[in-house]
Amino acid sequence: MLTEFGLIDRYFKRPRPGTASRAVLGIGDDCALLAPTPGLQWAISTDMLVSGRHFFADVDPAALGHKALAVNLSDLAAMGAQARAFTLALALPQADPDWLQGFSDGLFALADSHGCELIGGDTTGGPLNICITVFGEIEPGQALTRGAAQVGDDIWISGQLGDARLALGAARGEWQVDATDLPALRRALERPQPRLALGRALRGIAHAALDLSDGLAGDLRHILRRSGCAARVDVDALPRSAALARQPLEIQRRCTVAGGDDYELCFTAPPAARDRIAELADSLALALTRVGTIEPIASSGGSTDPAAALSASAVGAATALAPIHWVDATGRTLPAAVQTSFHGFDHFDAS
Ligand code: ADP
Ligand code: MG
């Protein structure tokens, strides 16, 4: 019979890492003690994963351990921070050894690959719920915030968008995918890779950045609101897998624009940085795709193009302050009805 403390010792307490950056005091006391690297700032973020809402209860526990940490590390990546440590608050319906072993294996495989130490947490009975807080470090003034986009910046996306949403839709029976594509799509949904190396490399190159968790349409607006800008985005330029590109155009657009769960980075940078960003893509072996431009609010909202003006008014008040002007590969404005369908995911939006 596993007790609470037996469970923590067996699955979450590990030999201390040998690195110089390890915590001063880890699991086992009332608090962990963590010494900041002199001169650096803490970057701290929390994300909670709730069974039935963020994952299926019967998901592979190793994948769940990976993803619970990955979505948190993705926030550090989006700031340009270096991962240092994390805490884990866990509510479990029962202490199932197989489940706990899988979960802790998936969790620590990712933690170790980024040198991120588990320093404490909390464990309780209850409906399955996983809450992780990550601690990273960043040089003062170097963080990639949401409010730093500038008019004229290019908008860039790492990796590919939409595969996680395509996998979810396939699991829900919303659409069909080729059986041969399923393993890669499930990996995209269950094992997102936090773009920490990219975030670090973008310090001093990118202006604004964020990670895409709720879909590009909703998430890009966070940058636009914070920066007081508008954007023009080419939907056909959004990077996508061959599996997604085989779907009807409407599904491709839904998945890339409003999909969610991508955990890729969206960042803005001046056109003068294009060559450096191309070099970065090569050295990281990670696609970096230019998908649009940051514009002044007036030029997108008050366009003389009647189709653009129509769509701007139809998209409505929610987006009026931070409009995204969606165009296709030919530069044509997408119809208003298509634009309004490009909602990001909102947990409290009943529509
Ligand atoms: P307290 O009641 O004083 O908050 P706990 O008894 O909850 O302490 O936890 C004992 C120790 O185990 C603490 O150091 C805590 O950080 C750690 N801990 C508890 N649950 C976890 C977990 N799921 N993962 C890692 N460490 C944990
Ligand atoms: Mg406690």
Residues 18-35 as b or e (16 or more Cβ within 10 Å = b):
eeebbbebbbeeeebebe
Contacts of 61 (CB under 8 A, 6+ apart): 98, 99, 100, 101, 102, 103, 106
Given a cut of 50, whether residue 257 has pLDDT beyond it is yes
Q: Which of 19-33, 77-91, 145-159, 189-203 has the lowest mean pLDDT?
A: 19-33
Any atom of ligand 1 within 6 Å of the Cβ of 118: yes
Distances (CA, A) of 175 to 14, 197, 244, 252, 328: 43, 34, 11, 11, 24
How many A from CA of 27 to the centre of ligand 2?
11
Q: What is the mean pLDDT of residues 319-348?
A: 77
Q: Distance (Å, rounded) from C-alpha 135 to C-alpha 86?
A: 6
Any atom of ligand 1 within 6 Å of the Cβ of 103: no
For the chain, the structural domain boundaries read 4-138, 154-339
Any atom of ligand 1 within 6 Å of the Cβ of 90: yes
**Could you tell me the pLDDT band of residue 344, with boundaries at 50, 70 and 90?**
low
Of the CA atoms within 13 Å of residue 226, those in its CB half-sphere come to 16
Any atom of ligand 1 within 6 Å of the Cβ of 8: yes
How many A from CA of 347 to the centre of ligand 2?
28
101 token code pair: 């072993």
Ligand 1 test: best mutation among 4, 101, 123, 131, most atoms within 8 Å of CB? 123
Q: What is the mean pLDDT of residues 245-271?
A: 96
Any atom of ligand 1 within 6 Å of the Cβ of 202: no
pTM beyond cutoff 0.85: yes
Any atom of ligand 1 within 6 Å of the Cβ of 120: yes
* Residue nearest (by alpha carbon) to ligand 1 atom 24: 121
**pLDDT score of 4:** 87
**Could you tell me the pLDDT band of residue 218, with boundaries at 50, 70 and 90?**
very high
Q: Which of 24-38, 65-79, 189-203 has the lowest mean pLDDT?
A: 24-38
How many A from CA of 121 to the centre of ligand 2?
7
Please name the CATH architecture into which domain 4-138 falls: 2-Layer Sandwich (3.30)
Rg (the chain; Cα; Å): 21
How many A from CA of 70 to the centre of ligand 2?
23
Q: What ligand has the least distance to the C-alpha of 30?
A: 1
Q: What ligand has the least distance to the C-alpha of 120?
A: 1
Q: Distance (Å, rounded) from C-alpha 314 to C-alpha 326?
A: 13
* Residue nearest (by alpha carbon) to ligand 1 atom 1: 30
Any atom of ligand 1 within 6 Å of the Cβ of 144: no
- Distance from the first to the final alpha carbon of the chain: 46
Any atom of ligand 1 within 6 Å of the Cβ of 100: no
Q: Which of 329, 108, 351 is nearest to 235 (CA)?
A: 329
Given a cut of 50, whether residue 351 has pLDDT beyond it is no
- CATH, domain 154-339, list 1.10.8.50, 1.25.40.10, 3.40.50.150, 3.90.650.10: 3.90.650.10
Beta strands in 140-208 (DSSP E): 154-158
**pLDDT score of 113:** 96
Condensed to tens digits (0 to 9), the pLDDT of residues 276-314 reads 999 999 999 999 999 999 999 975 444 444 444 444 444
**pLDDT score of 1:** 74
Q: What is the mean pLDDT of residues 90-108?
A: 96
How many A from CA of 53 to the centre of ligand 1?
26
**Could you tell me the pLDDT band of residue 347, with boundaries at 50, 70 and 90?**
low
How many A from CA of 30 to the centre of ligand 1?
7
* Residue nearest (by alpha carbon) to ligand 1 atom 26: 120
- Looking at 34-162, list the stretches that DSSP marks H as alpha helix, in order from N- to C-terminal side: 61-79, 97-113
